[in-house]
Structure 1
Amino acid sequence: MTTAAPQKYRQELRRSLSLWGNLSLVVSAVTPATGAFIIAPVLFGLNGTGAALTFVIAAVLGFALAYCWAELGAAYPIAGGDYSFIARILGRGPGFVSLVLSGPVQAILIPAVVALGMAEYLSVIINLDANILGAIIILLGTVVAIFGVRLSAVAVGALLIVELLAVVLVTVLGFVNSQRPISVLFSPEVFAADGSASPLTFGAIIAGLAVASFAYNGFQGALVFSEETKGGGRNIALAVFVALGVAVACEVLPVAAALLGSPSLTELSHADRPWQYFLTSIGGETFNTIVSLGIAVAVLNAVIALMPFFARILYSSGRDMAWPEPVSKLVSTVHPRFETPWVATIIIGVGGAIMILFTDIATLTTWIGAVLAVEFILVALSAIVSRIRNPELKRPYRMPLWPAAPVVAIVMAVAVLTQQNPADLAVAGGLVVLSVLYYVFYLRPRRATHMILLDPPDGEDEDERAPRERTLQP
């Protein structure tokens, strides 16, 4: 008696990325320059000299999650990222919640933050409204992403050098021009506008973890490019850890350098553009202009990298029929020549450009922080439940000391949620509720034809793959 071969996705995306090509895209999607130059300034205002310490604590959460992503991503090499394994482990309902949070929501919000930040640095030479300039930037990034993931990898690989040089430059400047002892970083204070200081509370540090985690977010992007990466699941796991390590170094060091090297911590905390205050105070207006342009080029790298990152999640959701049939077919359309999900890329680019026109960086950053905390809990739960329900699953990478990492991640993510602004919690909660309602009233009655989860497409190291977990029936 013969057994029917399991259904698999067709290999539609071009498998052309080496490990280092994947890493160049993922490290750029982590956006070291964005974290340091766009997101960190939010923490200067919120946590004062505790900004660097907040990034260090967030790194603990990051590494706990990295173990989860490395194991699950290696076991499920599918372009959808988080929702692909969450749906197969926790069920299609939680999987769809993850899809909405890690896909369309972040796909619209995160590139908008990056493009807006780049526009602010370009303002030193371009006299144009930052929101309009940001919309133009994100549309240009969309065009580059359509031409192919390999082209994107080449482009971001070149720009990544500029990005890392910008981070190194400001780090060196801060430490060389240090105004105070390093001990101030371990006795964190916040500053009022009149210059008075008060100790930073533990609750404020926990609340700031949402912002710091956003700065690290993206290192799990190796999973999203897994169908286009050569070499198998262990390469995906390795890329996750390398990308996070780069992100931590590129956030902690320049932030610490700015806190030590700024002439006035009060001015740094309350400046509309803290890094430009820092650069001007050290080298003058001309120096600020030159370095700001370098930072803008570095941030452009993030825009180019983020577009294909999120487009593949949306593409995967269409392939799984997560939306009404016409929409699913549209977003899963692959360009016949470039072999990229070009329709999904355009949708993300246009949506992000529209979002930019009506919001600001601070609002977007705090929204994303709350959304990420919910996503982290789903990922960590999956890492626990997968081992319990499917101990026989082939895992090219297995995290050590299981379940320590996912438990730490859940505890920290819950703590972060308890300290968020009620308005930000309302945004995250509202998105979860809407996702659940859509699943219950639209997807679940159509379970035979929608949210269909197949096995990974054929690729290299196919003989090492084990049977996948079957989809849980909610």
Structure 2
Amino acid sequence: MENELSNQPAVSAIDAVETIAHAGHVLKERLSTGHVVGLAMADVSPTMAVMLLSAAVFTAGGTFAAGVNIIMMGIVVLIALCLAELASMFPSAGGMYTLVKEVLPAPVCWITKFNYLLQGVIIPASIGLGIAQFARDLWPGLPVPDTVIACASLALAAYVGTTRVEIGAWLTVVMVFVELTVLGIVTVAGFTHVHQSLRDIVFHPVTLNAASNGTVAVGMVAMFATLAPAFNVINGYDASLGFAEELKGGRKNIGKAVVLSAVIASITIIIPLLAAIVAAPDLVAFLKAPSPVLYSVESVMGPWAKYIVDFGVIIALFNGALSLMMYFGRATYATGRDQAWPASVNRCIGTLNRHAVPAGAVVALALPACVLCFFSHLDWLLNFSGTMTAAVYFCVGIAALHARKSHVHVERPFRMKLWPIPPVVVIGFTGFALYSQESQYLVGEGVMIAAGIACWLLSARWKRSMA
């Protein structure tokens, strides 16, 4: 049944929204394009990407982190073009889940749904612990356990996420400005204290050599290993999709917002990242550091710089947690509104509160995220989220390619340029990134696929019980 519905024209998503509207449960158009881009940039969190998420890429591929993220800039724009066209066809708070649901068979939809929504629990949990770590670095004598700080941060983000959407939007815009100011300081400091050749960093990358305690040229295996972690660095620009039903100006604006968010995200991450690498006085010490970028900042600006960085990162992390709660809360709400789960679950997550925001869905993400803060395997899950992101974008690429054939008569207010190059490149690149992953992450993805197929099979029973 769901498979048949997924192949109906684009109006199916719009009809679903209008049906809910008659019942008094509809998201309202209250946000400008600037608000939506600001929310997406908060989800991207350039400061978090540069200071924290880039560390996994440096560990995997050494200074090839610069080259792979430059490559990712191009891939990100191509992904954004695919998302923009699909989102203009199927504007929905469900984001990437809805885009796949409207075009591809139901089993693929369920696999995408699991890979997509689980990130809304894992990433906020890691952000909460990150806030605790940087808060303790800023105030060493803080007499509160890290898990309590993490849960309190997530609870505050969830609370703001359940108020009027304009409040969260304005808060994120202000905090993004603070983030960009901090990154601007890092960038200027880096490019005015150059110790490494930018050309060598990009075209002759090196990584640590344990045998000689020095560096060695990066091999192809290490290069391939950096692909999935790099998806976590320039990521989050798709958050603009979650506010499609609240954006003023029609479907074309959501396409513009996605592409604009992707371009701004790429620029604000890559430039400070390059500045930090060229400013490193010693590449061996740089690559050994727990946070390589922070090592460069302290080397250039002195030990007092850590206070600026700590403050900026705390702001960035909370901003990211807030935006993620708002974004994934709307995606979770859309699954309940679409009657994807058992009736009791749909009632819990598929309704809006008096502020016309999905409070139940936000809480449904915040609670398990707080629980995850007490588990020691969160680092593995965070690394695995890069694999899940690649899997989602792989499905989006297929959907963007297939939609031109299966939905010929559907209006496309935003039409991607250079078709079919964007979806073909996205499919090829993300497919190769998945193929080159370590077996432990591929096993994890296999579990996600099995869970998705199992729920697809169960969904027929859920639908019968609601009939």
Pairwise same-fold verdict (TM > 0.5): yes
- What is the rounded CA distance, in whole Å, between the counterparts of 2:256 and 2:431 in structure 1? 27
* 2:436 paired residue number: 419
Asked if residue 169 in structure 1 is aligned to residue 185 in structure 2, the reply is yes
- What is the rounded CA distance, in whole Å, between the counterparts of 2:131 and 2:409 in structure 1? 47
Q: The residue matched to 2:242 in structure 1 has which SS?
A: coil
* 1:345 paired residue number: 362
* 1:434 paired residue number: 451
Flag the 1:131–1:47 CA change in 2: closer, same or farther, 3 A: farther
- What is the rounded CA distance, in whole Å, between the counterparts of 1:298 and 1:445 in structure 2? 43
Give structure 2 stretches of 5+ with no counterpart.
Answer: 1-13
- What is the rounded CA distance, in whole Å, between the counterparts of 1:131 and 1:417 in structure 2? 32
2:253 aligned partner, one-letter code: N
212-221 vs 385-394, which moves further? 212-221
Q: What is the 5 A alignment of 1:67-466? A: 67-103=81-117, 105-127=118-140, 128-185=144-201, 186-192=203-209, 195-336=213-354, 338-359=355-376, 362-440=379-457, 442-447=458-463
- What is the rounded CA distance, in whole Å, between the counterparts of 2:237 and 2:187 in structure 1? 22
CA-to-aligned-CA distance 1:203-227 (integer Å, 9 cap, x gap): 3223212111112222112211001
Number of matched pairs: 444
Flag the 1:144–1:26 CA change in 2: closer, same or farther, 3 A: same
Q: Measure how far apart 1:6 and its partner are.
A: 5.5
Q: Measure how far apart 1:279 and its partner are.
A: 2.7
Give the conservation status (yes or no) of the 8 Å contact 1:192–1:266: no
241-250 vs 203-212, which moves further? 203-212
Q: Measure how far apart 1:445 and its partner are.
A: 4.1
CA-to-aligned-CA distance 1:387-434 (integer Å, 9 cap, x gap): 111211111011122211111001101110122111111111101111
CA-to-aligned-CA distance 1:231-273 (integer Å, 9 cap, x gap): 0111101111111111111221111111111122112212223
Q: Measure how far apart 1:295 and its partner are.
A: 2.4
- What is the rounded CA distance, in whole Å, between the counterparts of 1:358 and 1:96 in structure 2? 26
Q: Measure how far apart 1:112 and its partner are.
A: 2.1
* 2:20 paired residue number: 10
Give the conservation status (yes or no) of the 8 Å contact 1:116–1:361: no
* 2:41 paired residue number: 27
Q: Measure how far apart 1:446 and its partner are.
A: 4.6
The alignment-based identity, stated in percent, is: 26
Q: Measure how far apart 1:136 and its partner are.
A: 2.3
Give the conservation status (yes or no) of the 8 Å contact 2:90–2:102: no
Give the conservation status (yes or no) of the 8 Å contact 2:88–2:413: yes
- What is the rounded CA distance, in whole Å, between the counterparts of 2:138 and 2:184 in structure 1? 23
- What is the rounded CA distance, in whole Å, between the counterparts of 1:364 and 1:41 in structure 2? 15
Cα-Cα RMSD:
2.0
- What is the rounded CA distance, in whole Å, between the counterparts of 1:131 and 1:187 in structure 2? 42
CA-to-aligned-CA distance 1:330-375 (integer Å, 9 cap, x gap): 0112112x11111111121121121122146642332011111111
Q: The residue matched to 2:87 in structure 1 has which SS?
A: helix
Q: Measure how far apart 1:130 and its partner are.
A: 4.0
Give the conservation status (yes or no) of the 8 Å contact 2:52–2:291: no
- What is the rounded CA distance, in whole Å, between the counterparts of 1:403 and 1:42 in structure 2? 32
- What is the rounded CA distance, in whole Å, between the counterparts of 2:297 and 2:182 in structure 1? 12
- What is the rounded CA distance, in whole Å, between the counterparts of 1:94 and 1:447 in structure 2? 18
Give the conservation status (yes or no) of the 8 Å contact 1:36–1:250: no
Asked if residue 37 in structure 1 is aligned to residue 31 in structure 2, the reply is no
* 2:68 paired residue number: 54
Could you tell me the TM-score, scaled by structure 1's length? 0.89
287-296 vs 377-386, which moves further? 287-296
Could you tell me the TM-score, scaled by structure 2's length? 0.90
291-300 vs 239-248, which moves further? 291-300
Q: The residue matched to 1:285 in structure 2 has which SS?
A: coil
Flag the 1:155–1:125 CA change in 2: closer, same or farther, 3 A: same
